A = this chain, B = another copy of it.
Amino acid sequence: MSSYSPSETSDKTGFSIDTLRYYEKIGLLPGIARNAAGRRVFSDDDLRWLDMLRCLRETGMPIAEMLRFTELARGGAGTLQERVELLREHDRRVEEQIARLRAQQAQIQWKIGVYRDAAPVCPSIWTPDWAPV
Contacts and interface: CB of A to CB of B under 8 A. Distances in A.
Interface of A: 31, 43, 45-46, 48-49, 51-52, 55-56, 58-59, 73-74, 76-78, 80-81, 83-84, 87-88, 90-91, 94-95, 97-98, 100-102, 104-105, 107-109, 111-112, 115-116, 118-119, 122-133
A87 B100 contact: no
A77 B127 contact: yes
B130 A112 contact: no
Nearest to A58: B104
Given A83-B115, A105-B94, A77 B122 contact: yes
A80 B112 contact: no
B76 A91 contact: no
